[in-house]
Structure 1
Amino acid sequence: MADQNSTAAVPDLQAILATLAQYSAQNAAAAPATGTDPSTPQSETASQQNGGGARLSAEQEQPAKSLDPRLPRPQGRSGTSTPKPMIDPATITVWPEALRCVTKIGAQNPQFAVNIKRMMKDQRANEMRWYSERQNLKHVHANRAAETAKAESILKSLNQNSYEPLPELETPEEKKERELAEFDRKIYAAQETMAVAMTAELKSLGVPFFGTSESLIVPDDQDLSESKLPDGHPKYSLLVTRSELAALQGKMVDLLEDLYRD
């Protein structure tokens, strides 16, 4: 009877051990998954905490980088303030305002000085070339006179007293003066062309007195006191004669040469 009870108890013990072994295996399989899977709720919580910290840091720095557009900007710091409009150089006919205008242009446009210096250099090169060519022509005249005198001396010595020079339509002196006059006319035309080109370039650079509005220029023989300007007309935009305008242009050129001479 006792053997039967003992034999009957064995299956129960084995069933209990099998159940415990199965339970232990399930716990062992679940433990690594919890520690290594980055998609577990614990990892997601840590990621959310880190992300929340980054967003909080960015939100804390944001007010220091920008201002609420509804709030007024501090005076003197606005980068979008509208600058005072520049006076049209074509309307300036008085020296003080012209001086302020060209000074402002030189300060705002870095290429202004470069262009003025280039124009001065080109003008100087042309003037030196014209002078050299005129001097060469005078040397030709001097050599020609010497050669002519030498040739006449040789012919006279060969023919002795019977030599008579051929009649000429013009004397050597007259020919020299004619050739010099023709050369000077060519130089004058070249100077006029250069002046027109320089005037156009100075106008494009915004230099006052070059490109002045024709409505402000009157003939030299016209009395300025008889010309009326509308009420409220700017004081820097007065009527000017062509002679006065030419004098102002010369004064401006002298100023630019003084400012930008190397």
Structure 2
Amino acid sequence: MSSSTADAVRFSAVPVQRPRQQVENQLRRAILDGTIPEGTRLPSETNLAESFGVSRATIREALRSLIEGGLLERGATTTSGLHVQSVDHRALSRIVSDRLGSILDVGSITPEEIASFRDLLEIPSARLAAHNRTPANLEQLHNIIDEERAVTYDDPSVPELNARFHVEIANATGNRVLASFVAALHRTAHPLAFVNTDAELGRVAVTHHIKLYKAIKAKDAEDATHQMRSHLDYLREHALASRAEASMVHRLPTVLL
């Protein structure tokens, strides 16, 4: 009776993972498969170190990687610990926001670059929104416009309302990646920060939003594209005027009274 052998089977060495990688991989799998649900607070570093049988330094390295990957977020205080974050398109938006925020802090990006990037994102968003919007999207846009019409141009809520309107248009495209980038742009770059708002700009901006809403509601992609382009061009002109005015003030000689 002959016996078979496994001589022809090829095996390859599997590298042994470092303790940090083992910890990170196990936590990542638990988050991604829902074993640790969104919003859950992780145990302390000490408790995790005991559970995994590794040092606190190893736990700290693994957690840092998961934070950078957008799966964990620190609480508002030093004692609130780490919480599991969503792993859908909202996580992508947070990651983009964090990276963009760091670059903006360095000051290596110009307002012109932000405006150009906004054109690349939001003009196509208006077109896609006209094709794909749902009744729920239209309701959200209508409600935001109602809120905008109820406040004055200098109300602190104006920038937030503006961001919500543009993000909702991006949501209406049905493309969650696009919506993530638009949300990140408004959350981090704050496009209105480059514009000196006044009563006239507030009135015109709301009028533009109404026209955009009507075009999207009518599923008129061409008009929606035109309205968004006109809106962004108008804001860009005001931003340029704001910077020119600030430059003139900066150059004025000091007058001794």
- For the aligned pair, the TM-score class normalised by the smaller chain equals under 0.3
TM-score using structure 2 length: 0.21
* Relative contact order, higher structure (CA 8 A, sep 6+): 1
Whichever structure has more helix as a proportion of its residues is 1
Which protein has the larger Cα radius of gyration, Structure 1 or Structure 2? Answer: 1
TM-score using structure 1 length: 0.21
